[in-house]
A and B are shown apart, each in its own frame.
Chain A
Amino acid sequence: MCKLKFYSVVILFAAVVAPAQSSPNEQLPTGPAKEKAAAACLTCHEARIIVQQRLSEAAWEKEMDKMIKWGAEVDAKDRDALIEYFSTNFTPDQPAYEAPRTARDAKSKTKSRL
């Protein structure tokens, strides 16, 4: 009986939470530098700005140095590992990232042009 109550509460919670909002945040891929990449980049950015890139190692190096100049906190000893993490996971030959969409507004067809 108690279990039934527990599951009812869980299902109710799920029903309330799920339709309202899926996670808007993209995830970084697993890898040895994932946590350091998250600490350096995700203070300002959401991971989607990273996972949509398809760049050479040289281009990743340039981006990394630009972001460090702009305030990304990267320990000097981690720089190369982070460049390797990005340039291994997001290469020019990969298929394009499939971006999600925002929810459709059910009333949009009847709304004015506002």
Chain B
Amino acid sequence: MRSRRDFLKTVSVAAFSASAAHPLLSWADAAPIFIPGKDGMIVRSFRFVDLEMPVEFMTEWITPVRHFYVRNHMFEPDKIDTINWKLTINGEVEKPLTLSLADLEKFPNRSVTNTLECAGNGRSLHTPKIPGIQWGKGAVGNARFSGPSLKSVLERAGVKDSGKHVQFRGLDPVPGKVPPFVRSIPIEKAADGDTLIATHMNGAPLTAHHGFPARAITPGWVGAASCKWLTEITVLDKPADGNFMMPGYRFPNTPGKPGEPVKPEDTHSLTALTVKSVIAAPADSAKLKPGAQVIQGVAWAGEAEITKVEISTDGGGSWSAAQLGKDQAKYAWHLWSYNWQPTKSGEYVIFSRASDSRGRTQPAAAVWNPSGYLYNAYDQVKVYVQA
């Protein structure tokens, strides 16, 4: 495995090459950053790699891998040798297992189309500002993940009555004294038949950025529940310990005042995503001609179903239903569109808001919380109609 020193050396050489060229090439700084396999993504961080999908790509039901967001807490593991890669299942089980990739392929294959969203998506939109990756709207994507269900693997190992939670651990190298990215989910979710040990994404083997050779997919839940580069699954009698369970990835039990601290005992661990829509087009600040316009975007609700998306073109004064796309799956987002016919020139504020099968509606203001999770206020763009 490549060491951190090697990685830094590579980066340093690349940085030196670029800076050496700089005096000759003043335009070079404006050139985009090249990351193989990724196309036109917003670079929130180059190291560790954190890439966001621009909203204009949110017009396809299945997000191509090249446009799918990347959230890494640590370094990515260097090239993983699939011959020697093993996944161990241990803890509160009758028969601990060590599985190779070939072993995993012998389990029945299950596919789930899932909208994966980083818990911190939209953090930059909270006020007051919150530390962390300043995600805009695109730390989200919808893909078809395939592999054995976690249930089938747990059944092979035989979960003891004492097994109540399932902990994932990945191969991402931990820098310094940073706690490892270890989290757990309750056994009911782990063994529901839809939670996967995914080896494929959109019909192809996972890429390195997305957890090759295997990752957890916990459908409908925050992205942090879907550990990448899986190497160990441990069945526990209680939730996992560690920074990424407490104080990480927790949400206030009751909304507090924006900017106010929240006591750990007044929080709960994040699970399913909430109801949310995003406008993909027109772009914010777009200049439009009067006449027929299509407002379009996506909406999702974690484990719930989207029941409607409404659009306001007068800053929230009145609302009209958008048309939902035909493509549907239990944990997947809906495309939506709305035909708009602006007749007068001027400035328009367009809102979108989604509602779901649990009676939730996207609110005018999101719940501020100290880590900036689950931002889901109405989405909005301002456009200018000019004859």
Contact = CB atoms under 8 A, between A and B. Distances in A.
B283 interface: no
Given A25-B46, A44-B175, A52-B134, A111 B28 contact: no
A114 interface: yes
B380 to A, nearest CB: 16
Interface string A40-73: 0001111011001111100100110000011110
Given A71-B176, A100-B43, A101-B54, A20 B66 contact: no
Q: Which one of A11, A43, A49, A69 has the greatest number of beta carbons of chain B within 10 Å?
A: A49
B18 interface: yes
Contacts, number: 157
Interface string A1-34: 0000000001101100111111111100000000
A25 B18 CA distance: 10
B28 A71 contact: no
A99 B14 contact: no
B204 A114 contact: yes
B115 to A, nearest CB: 15
Given A45-B45, A49-B133, A114 B178 contact: no
B39 A22 contact: no
Contacts of A56: 128
Contact of A22 (B18, B40, B64, B202): B18
Q: Is the interface of A mostly helix, strand, loop or mixed?
A: loop
B294 interface: no
Contacts of B102: none
B308 interface: no
Interface residues of B, number: 53
Interface residues of A, number: 47
26 contacts: A18-B21, A18-B28, A21-B34, A22-B30, A23-B14, A23-B18, A23-B28, A24-B18, A48-B43, A49-B45, A52-B133, A53-B131, A54-B129, A56-B128, A71-B175, A92-B129, A96-B124, A100-B33, A103-B40, A104-B32, A104-B39, A105-B66, A108-B40, A114-B64, A114-B66, A114-B204
Interface of B: 8, 11, 14-15, 17-22, 24-25, 28-35, 38-48, 51-52, 54, 60, 62, 64-66, 124, 128-129, 131, 133-134, 175-179, 202-204
